[in-house]
Amino acid sequence: MTDTAQLSRRPSVLRMADGGIHFDGVKAVDGVTLEVRSGEVLGLIGPNGSGKTSTLNLLSGMLRATSGRIHLDDDDLTRSSMRQRVQRGVVRTFQSGRVFGRLTVAENVEAAALGAGSRRGPARRLRDEILDELNLGAVADTRADSLTAGRIRTTAIARALAAKPRFLLLDEPAAGQNETEAVELITSIRGFARRRDCGVLLVEHDMSVVMGTCDRLHVLDSGRTVVEGEPATVRKDPRVIEIYFGKRH
Amino acid sequence: MKKLGSVTGVLQTPVLLIALVLLAALVGVGGDVTVARVATLAIVSVVFVTGLSIFSGSSGVMSFGHVAFMAVGAYTTAYLTIPVNLKAALFTNLPGWLSWLVDAHASFLVALLVSGVAAAVLGVVTSPIVARLSGLQSGIATLALLLIVYNVLNSWTDVTRGSSSMIGIPRNTTIWLAFAVAAGSIAAAWAYRRSRSGLQLQASREDYWAAQASGIAVGRHRALSWILSAFVCGLAGSLYAGYLTSFNVNSFFLTATFAFIVMIVLGGYLSLSGAVIGALVVSGLQELLRRLQDGQFTGGSALPAGVADLILAAVLLLTLIKAPLGLMGVRELVLPRRRRRAAPDDDATEAVTPAAEAPTQAARGA
């Protein structure tokens, strides 16, 4: 488990087949099939309430699917806990960052490395590498709750990388930023993922942000798949135009 | 990147805390009988609150049941150190399968260790509960543990003497033995806090779901700290029994629980330094209040019984309102030095989101 690049050399696929979940009869996700391949960035987009975050919750194990299956290659993860999925390399972030506030940035990253199964020495080496890679060295000893919003976002990503992800599930990592900043952030995340041959599922509501940063897009509306494909094709799809721009167009 | 603190930096806090306890011990040795008694019991309280802090400080989950571990430690020490002939007279109705208790005997140091182990065994048995519960549920469950242990001790008269006092325990706890155990407990608590398990448990204290999402086995680490903490509180019970030579089951119930809660809350339950300082400060305060109630500061006219407890309760309330995290918050005791980290977080070095903090740029949608 020491060399992630070596581990993920064989191409992997994280797949949800016909996945669904309902809360009190309301179908938040209804028969969605999607897959993320190692090395690619799949953008999961759709308007508010379309089931993006619920889909991410199903994949990460925060919610258990009421229908459908979730596989990582040949392994059935449908019944696995979030923790078991992290051990298998399926790692999520949260929209608000949810860093460990009263721990330092370094402790945030080290705790995640330990949680994913690293021993102490390797966990500290991994921590230092990631802090360097993400330029967090200067704030390593700063408590996470006294960071700027930007650094909280970065710390949350550093923590996810410490878990040695084969698949990163990112819930609006650029929330609250303007378009330029968002594109910049996602482009750098893409770089981190590429270096690790890691697949990325990116939940995002802004179409313009995902256009240049994702390899493929999967569009949801009311818990169902609208269309999936290359960004350029998806943007021209009349159903997507209607969802995003209404009947004016 | 920079080193995360030298060895002397890391060991500064436990060394300072042990020095504080040493100070209390020296005060006890230098003072009269009353002062010595107050100091010794204060140090026993340090052992207990340090034990409680091993669990509560790292997990963020408050326990109202740890006095049960202290009780187990005290009773174990009583069974193992009361002279055999006295025990034969005290326990005439022992059930057959426990008759070996009459003949069991051990030196105090062995009894001390066995007391810790006995409390840890109760910790192992109850650990699945704390591993599964959080917040209010966990608090109520620990209170239930206290009630169960109290009721067993109070009702199982043939074995525990019920509400009659346990008497005839030889006085083995000296102030220096108490100090040694306190120092060891502080060292163990600090080592746990800095261990792999301790760091992961503190992460779960900050955000339970984010910890789960980082692969942290929150329940396992809670259970581990719970058992270690039970062991230390068992030691405190043993020292307590070996100092007072007699005790009653009511010594290990709500009054004691309340006093220890005041200590750890006043000091700051998230910080080991807070726990140790709280134990010492509140022990001193309790003695002052006792004297106040007895009339020593009011020209000999005693105040109504209960005034001391009332003031202690007021101190707890005031702390909870004014400083919910106590005197120390999440800080630990360190030597004063040049001001730490006065410089604000420097945006210019941030590469991932270079424009992230530009305040004038409009934020994208909600």
Give the pLDDT confidence of B180-234 residue by residue, as tens digits: 999 999 999 999 999 999 999 999 999 999 999 999 999 999 999 999 999 999 9
Q: How many CB atoms lie within 10 A of CB B270?
A: 24
Q: Where are the domains of chain B?
A: 8-334
Would the CB atoms of A184 and B354 count as touching at under 8 Å? yes
> Interface pTM (ipTM) of the complex?
0.91
Residue A6 pLDDT > 60, yes or no?
A: no
What count of CB pairs under 8 Å joins A to B? 163
What confidence tens digit (pLDDT) does each residue in A53-68 have? 999 999 999 999 999 9
- For chain A, what's the residue count? 249
Q: Is A164 on the interface with B (CB under 8 A)?
A: no
Domain boundaries, chain A: 12-89+165-248, 99-162
Instruction: Give the C-alpha separation, A26 to A45, whole Å.
Output: 20
pLDDT digits (tens, 9 = 90+) for A207-229: 888 998 999 999 999 999 999 99
For B2-22, what is each residue's pLDDT tens digit?
A: 444 455 678 999 999 999 999
Pick from A83, A146, A157: CB nearest B217? A83
Q: pLDDT (tens digit, 9 = 90+) per residue, A66-104? A: 999 999 999 999 999 999 999 999 999 999 899 999 999
Chain B neighbors of A115, CB-CB under 8 A: 200, 203, 211, 214-217
Q: What is the pLDDT of residues A13-44, one digit of tens each?
A: 999 999 999 988 889 999 999 999 999 999 99
* Whether the predicted pLDDT of B139 surpasses 80: yes
Residue A69, min C-alpha distance to chain B (Å): 20
More confident residue, B347 or A69: A69
CATH code of domain B8-334: 1.10.3470
What's the mean per-residue pLDDT of chain A? 92
Tell me, what's the pLDDT at A243? Answer: 87
Q: Which pLDDT belongs to residue A11?
A: 79
Q: How high does pLDDT run on average in chain B?
A: 90
The domain covering A12-89+165-248 belongs, at the CATH homologous superfamily level, to P-loop containing nucleotide triphosphate hydrolases (3.40.50.300)
| Lowest-confidence pick of B5-14, B60-69, B85-94 | B5-14
Q: Is B22 on the interface with A (CB under 8 A)?
A: no
Which of B239, B258, B238, B261 has the alpha carbon at shortest distance from B250?
B258
Mean pLDDT value of segment B283-290: 95
Q: Give the Å distances, CA to CA, from A67 to A29, A64, A115.
A: 10, 9, 29
Instruction: Write the burial class of residue A10 (CB in 10 Å: 0-12 exposed, 13-18 middle, 19+ buried).
Output: exposed
Angle between helices B175-194 and B7-30 (to 10 degrees): 160
